Amino acid sequence: MPSVYLSPSLQEYNPYVDGGNEEYYMNLIADAMEPYLKASGIDFKRNDPDMTLSQAIADSNKGNHDLHLAIHSNAAPEGSAGRYTGADIYYYPTGSNGKRFAEILQKNYKDIYPEPNDVDIIPTTSLAEVRRTKSPSALIEVAYHDNPEEAQWIRDNINVIGRNLAKSVAEYFNMPFVEP
């Protein structure tokens, strides 16, 4: 049975524009993924919200996971809050399987994101969750939580996003996607 490590954001300190925080909403998305993963025959483990990022990476690495998915929402640089839109998917540039997963995430996420042309994949060596995990990995920034419209879109689409991400995991593993 293939296994994915789900790593929703640990950033409780990262507030949403209209209340709540990144850790809270990204955990709701991971919660929404679970029934789809179970129904599709995919094993999973999750980080604990009380972990540090280094602890979550170590927890992922000590398991025998075939994939690592970090789930985040984005914020614009200081002074630009509320001006950015889009979804970004990061992968480690030398990892062919991580890039393949990022491409699957991008293709499927375009089906649900309001502006499909604003869903990008970006190679990076600076994000620890794609650089330090031993299994192929990707980090998705589902939308900008400092933009009121984007933050509301996230809130209104928790289950849609969770289903879409689970579908991408199933596709990566060449497993049939099964509705629970």
Q: What is the CATH number of the domain that holds 62?
A: 3.40.630.40
Q: How does strand 43-46 pair with strand 87-91?
A: unpaired
What does the alpha-carbon distance between residue 143 and residue 86 come to, in Å, rounded to a whole number? 5
Give 106-145 pLDDT, tens digit per residue: 999 999 999 999 999 999 999 999 999 999 999 999 999 9
pLDDT of residue 95: 80
Average pLDDT, the chain: 97
**Nearest-angstrom CA–CA distance, 61 and 105:** 22
**Does residue 76 form part of some domain?**
yes
> Tokens 């839109």 sit at which residue?
85
Residues in the chain: 180
DSSP track, 48-102: -TTS-HHHHHHHHHHTT-SEEEEEEEE-PPTT-TT----EEEEE-TT-HHHHHHH
Residue 169: inside a domain? yes
Residue 131 near residue 57 (C-beta atoms within 8 A): no
Q: CA 111, CA 12: separation in Å to the nearest integer?
A: 29
Residue 178 domain flag: no
> CA dist 18 to 82, 116, 145, 161, Å?
11, 24, 9, 20
- Does any domain span residue 104? yes
Is residue 57 situated within a structural domain?
A: yes
What is the domain extent for residue 44? 3-173
Q: Is residue 75 part of a domain?
A: yes
**What are the Cα distances from residue 109, in Å, to 17, 96, 105?**
23, 20, 6
Tell me whether residue 180 is in a domain: no
What global pTM score does this model have? 0.97
- The number of folded domains in the chain is 1
What is the per-residue pLDDT across 10-58, written as a single tens digit (0 to 9) for each?
999 999 998 999 999 999 999 999 999 999 999 999 999 999 999 999 9
Residue 170 has pLDDT above 90, yes or no: yes
The per-residue pLDDT for 57 is 98
